Structure 1
Amino acid sequence: MTSVVTAGGISVTIRGAVVDEGETVLDRLVSDGVPGALVSRNSHLWGPDAAPAAARRLGWLGPSEIARSLPARVSGPAGFARDAGLDRVVLLASGGPAVAAEAIGAAAGAELTVVDSTDPHEVTGALAGDPHRTIVVVVADDPGAGADGGAGVDALRRVFERAFGDAGLTGADLARRFVVVAAAGSAEERAAQEAGHHVVESEPDVDGRFGALDARALTAPALAGADVEALLDQAAALAATLRQPYDNPALTLGAALGSSALAGRDKLVIADHGSGLTGFGAWAEQLVAGALGKGGRGLLPVVVEDVEAPGFELTADMRRVILGRRPDEPGPGREAGISVAGPLGAQFLLWEYATAIAARVLGVDPFGEPDVRESAASTAALLRSEEGAAPTVVRRPPALVEGAVEVHAREDALKGAATLAGALEAVLESVPDGGYLAVLAYLDRWADAEAAGLRALLAARAAKVRRRPVPVTFGWGPAHLHTTGQYHKGGPRNGSFLQVTGVVTADLPVPGRPYSLGELQLAQAFGDLRVLRSLGRPAVRLHLRDRPEGLAQLADALS
């Protein structure tokens, strides 16, 4: 059985058992008046406990005057782009705004450098561009939110400010190199105004996770030349359909996601197949994981490389989604449960609405982040030290060393393994039935890009070791703290974790702070690892004494 719902430039195709499952849930949503209530911004849709926060977080459902005004502010007579020669745009951000901006920039072919990492090697690469051509957009974290209390973005801003000063930029010339996106009346806005930076007010009723089309995500791409108005027009076309009880693709997708989780298919395997939307899967991952993973429930997004990749096999606990081609068209993956096609702006709104619907079905608060602050507190504790002193991280001897790779684990975690290959097999065997393995790499995502290949290698090896597919996700650290970190700590307690850290050969001091970027990154990694272990999650850390050599060793051990 196949169901195709097309409207507002979006097509959602559903095949197989999920059609009946989704329609049952959809009928209940319609009878409860949910489509109209959501568009009317009814904050009680997720229960009384969630209502206060929801009342301040539903602005993404309507047009944003701030977002609409960005093109004029950026390129108009008084716009930021009036400064001749400032044609290199760098974004310092975390979480949803960073991932959304990168997807927008990629779709537009815009030259945009996104820095959401404290890895000193990666930051050094971003600093390598001509400072006299560079303008930096700084997106302040939501007040009270953030997986590191805002330390990451603040540290990056300080490092870039020092680099500009070292290049001879001072006074007003230095100040105009920064555009700060912050909430009106916030400490970040006041500090930016006092410093003489450009300031863009962020929407007061949208959080970063749902804010793909607000000022935090759009300012940097707009500066880099992306057509922001076209994105907003695409979303507006879909918005006209969101109140409809039927022929509503976003409601259909939301019912399918929610019914999948209720039916035990709580792993959402996402593969791109010709969508042309580079990076969109990563944005959908942060939205679905963070909005739904809490209270021991959730829907785990597993982004795979393509429909032929290890991990896309159909199993009893997986629901497969294709971004791009409809699944009833010829080609691999045609039996996948869900397929979504449409332009980027509409896709953003589609998934935001659908995820909010799925949260209603699952009975969770889509806007709460009850578990993210645990890692923030743990990181802050590691950074807390004597005044003027660097943070202290207690380092223990590795349980195993092979070549350039150290294996750090509790005594019973490796099950007596004496080799790197054996240790990796022990990690795979630690994944509980119905669970998943998350690879968290605190490395340079450009220079150490080979690390991303560990996801497919581990998925392929898991199928042999466990004689069945095991979901394997991959995230760059510390960025994952702001994206999937909520699910890893608050979702179903069935995850195992493989953290990868690497030697720092050229660190960067953080001006005005008693720590360097390398020390901050290590505190973020150790803080998160400590929280995962305190929750009883199996967690092993691999430390690369030499990054390229260590990654090559891991690939060999898994081949």
Structure 2
Amino acid sequence: MVIKVSTSGAATEAARRHLDQLVADRFASRLFAEDGTMWGEAAVEESSKRLGWTKAPEVSAPLVPEIVALREKLNAAGVDRIVLCGMGGSSLAPEVMTRTAGIALDVLDSTHPEQVAEALSEGIERTAVVVSSKSGSTVETDSQRRAFAAAFEAAGIDPRERIIIVTDPGSPLDQAAREAGNQVFNADPTVGGRFSALTAFGLVPAGLAGLDLDEFLAEAASVTDELSADSPQNPGLVLGAAIAGGEPIKTYLGVVDQGTDIVGFGDWAEQLIAESTGKEGKGLLPVVLGADAPEIGLPIPDLQIVRLVADAAEDAALGDEINVSGPLAEQMLLWEVAVSVAGQIVGINPFDQPDVESAKIAARAMLDATPEPTPPAFVDGAIAVRGTESIVAGRNSVKDVVESLLAALPDHGYVAVQAYANRLGLDELVKSRDLIAHRARRPVTFGWGPRFLHSTGQFHKGGPRVGVFLQITTNDDSDVVIPERPFTFGELIRAQAAGDGSVLEGNGMPVLQLELQDVDAGVEQLLEALRSI
């Protein structure tokens, strides 16, 4: 099976508007030749050293025997559970790879104490942990590593035998791990995190969990000739031009899985697209939608629907939509090309992330200062309410403040629901997205905190400042200590929520925080309030 892209209506016009120039500029062949000059002079320094992903299927092949050998060694030692500690592209790529293949991989991309405690408590004697971080300085990943090292020691297991490191060569984590005696896999330093699916960051955890890496890389390699061709039929050029070439541009990209066998693709595409394009007040914001999501039936002129289908040739796009089909490995390379095309059309450098650091700095400052929690504006049942003064002032119910937040939504804006909660135990909370979309009649994203900070978080701060933000936090009875750190996981996730909220407010966007003081009762109360609006 090969990748296919079909377009209709305005999406076709958007593609046609740019395809001839992309072909004339030899964009595709220059991309695969790692020419970093195609995104403007200011981007050359960064982009010229971030194009190694175009060669990833070939460059990564030598990693496979080493990964397979380690998998066999671990299996012989009774290890049958792989946990991945990573954020952003380091976790989202191997998660979709293993879920699609039906292989178990426990992904810990949270600082929520309940989720961390569950990961630490489940079968530590049969567990190995992959710690993935380009630098090793990511606070979430470093904290998770410390917690697992302590858990292994408490169980009488040498952490060096069970903690595997994936990082860039020469990074602080690389040096420290080698000195400590951990097994280290070095990733290609010419590949940014969100483009790293076909590098060690995707392959090591997925391969240790049992994915057939030779087959996966072969699938990706099979489409490199097609994607590097300077042709108007190149699906990467077509897709990139279709999603970014509208006049005016369609800021919101509704990603709909129309019954494919790929599981969780939207979450991976979300971080690739939002973090790559959301900057300088521009960008594309993916919105992961179910097949019956409210937005699909609403007249939202700046929403472009992209459907993942079984066969885009047979399931031709209708209306103003885009259909995409193909196996996961091929689609990963396809979308990386398309985002590179979109960056040039939008006029930004897709390989930097200038606004991701702002929320990290704010969270760090709050951890260092350890301020007293802000008193709630009011408490309604099981929910304590805080937020931007203009949103919460004079209100006394959850229903009222949510209505106030939606009333502040700009004509071309979006709602971001940010749930700083245990994503493995609160499926019911996801229902809030559709309920809000019914009432807002605008695109609504849903992200689990803090992992969305490494994906859509860049768009929130760097893209058009037209968002309104609903933070959902939980007040948990238990906490988890982070060894050799002056803060706990509970304190960390609260600081991350507060820090991101302060940055958003500082950028002139309203934030409403609902703290579920009793989680089960709070979720039920919130959903009922949303239904009543």
The TM tier, using the shorter chain, reads over 0.9
1:371 to 2:342 alignment? no
Superposed CA deviations along residues 99-137 of structure 1, whole A, max 9, x for unmatched, are 111000101111100001000001111122211110000
Query: Within 2, Cα distance between the matches of 1:33 and 1:319?
Result: 27
Establish whether residue 255 from structure 1 lines up as the match of residue 241 from structure 2.
yes
1:529 counterpart = 2:501? yes
The answer to whether the 8 A contact 1:328-1:334 is kept is no
Displacement of 1:59 in angstroms is 0.5
RMSD of Structure 2 on Structure 1 (CA) = 1.8
2:251 to 259, 263, 266: 266
Structure 2 residue aligned with 1:101: 94
CA distance in 1, matches of 2:439, 2:314: 30
Q: Are 2:446 and 1:471 equivalent residues in the alignment?
A: no
The aligned counterpart of 2:473 is 501
Q: Do the aligned partners of 1:103 and 1:277 also contact (CA within 8 Å) in 2?
A: yes
Alpha-carbon distance in 2 for matches of 1:316, 1:301: 15
Question: Could you state the TM-score of these two structures normalised by the residue count of structure 2?
Answer: 0.96
Letter of the 1:203 partner, please give it: D
Q: 1:351 aligns with which of 318, 329, 335?
A: 335
Unaligned runs of 5+ in 2: none
CA separation in 1, counterparts of 2:530 and 2:366?
33
| Whole-Å separation in 2 of the counterparts to 1:265 and 1:63 | 31
**How far did residue 397 of structure 1 move?**
2.0
Q: Deviations over 1:320-344 (max 9, x none)?
A: 010114678679x843510100000
Q: Distance in 1 between matches of 2:120 and 2:27?
A: 48
Q: Is contact 2:410-2:466 (8 Å) kept?
A: yes
- 1:377 Cα deviation (Å)? 1.0
CA contact (8 A) 1:112 1:224 kept: yes
Does the CA-based 8 Å contact 1:180-1:192 persist in structure 2? yes
Deviation at 1:417, TM superposition (A): 2.9
Separation in structure 2 between the aligned mates of residue 229 and residue 161 of structure 1, nearest angstrom = 31
- In 1, distance between residues paired with 2:525 and 2:234? 49
Moved over 4 A (4+): 77-80, 325-331
Tell me the distance in 1 between the aligned counterparts of 2:59 and 2:19: 34
User: Match of 2:3, as an amino acid?
Assistant: I
CA contact (8 A) 2:52 2:191 kept: yes
Which region of structure 1 is more displaced relative to structure 2, 317-326 or 346-355?
A: 317-326
Tell me, in whole angstroms, the C-alpha distance in 2 between the residues paired with 1:249 and 1:184: 34
Counterpart CA distance in 2 for 1:177 and 1:423 is 48
Amino acid at match of 2:69: G
Shift in alpha-carbon separation, 1:141–1:394, aligned structure 2, 3 A? farther
CA contact (8 A) 2:57 2:221 kept: no
1:431 maps to 409
CA contact 1:142–1:208 (8 Å) conserved in 2: no
Give distance in 1, aligned partners of 2:8 and 2:283.
22
For the 8 Å contact 2:386–2:512, the answer to whether it is kept is yes
The answer for the alignment partner of 2:272 in structure 1 is 287
**Can you list the C-alpha shifts for 1:169-206, whole angstroms capped at 9, x where unaligned?**
2xxx3311011011112211111112111110111110
**SS at structure 1 position matched to 2:282:** coil
Matches within 5 A, 1:152-167: 152-167=140-155
Q: Secondary structure at the match of 1:49?
A: helix
Cα 1:415–1:430 shift into 2, 3 Å: farther
**Contact preservation (8 Å) 2:70, 2:208:** no
For the Cα contact (< 8 Å) 1:231–1:345, is it kept in 2?
A: yes
Task: Indicate conservation of the 8 Å contact 2:237/2:338, yes or no.
Answer: yes
Q: State how many pairs are aligned.
A: 529
Matches for 1:81-480 after TM superposition, within 5 Å: 81=74, 83-142=76-135, 150-169=138-157, 173-244=158-229, 245-260=231-246, 262-306=247-291, 308-313=292-297, 314-325=299-310, 334-385=318-369, 392-414=370-392, 416-462=394-440, 469-480=441-452
Q: Deviations over 1:338-357 (max 9, x none)?
A: 01000000000000000000
Amino acid at match of 1:184: P
- Aligned residue for 1:380, secondary structure, equals helix
Distance 2:56 2:379 in 1: 55
The CA distance in 1 between the partners of 2:313 and 2:224, in whole Å, is 27
Cα distance change, pair 77–212 in 1 and its aligned pair in 2 (3 A) = closer
Per-residue deviation, 1:64: 4.7
What is the Cα deviation at residue 83 of structure 1? 4.0
Correspondence for 1:11: 4
Structure 1 length-normalised TM: 0.91
1:79 Cα shift? 5.9
**Structure 1 residues 427 and 77: alpha-carbon distance in aligned structure 2, compared to 1, 3 A threshold:** closer
Q: Which is further off, 474-483 or 134-143? A: 134-143
Aligned pair in 2 of structure 1 residues 504, 365: CA closer, same or farther (>3 Å)? same
* Bigger shift: residues 422-431 or 308-317: 308-317
